[in-house]
Amino acid sequence: MIRFQSFYIPSQQHLLCDENYLYLFDSNTPQYRAMAEAGGERGLCQHHFPTQPIFTTKSFVTIVFR
Residues 20-52 have pLDDT tens digits of 888 999 888 887 789 998 889 888 888 878 889
Helix (H, G, I), strand (E, B) or coil at 47: coil
Neighbouring residues of 49: CB distance < 8 A, sequence distance ≥ 6: 4, 7
The whole-number pLDDT of residue 25 equals 92
pTM: 0.78
Which has the closest alpha carbon to 4: 60, 45, 57?
A: 45
The whole-number pLDDT of residue 21 equals 86
Rounded CA separation 10/33 (Å): 24
Rounded CA separation 25/15 (Å): 26
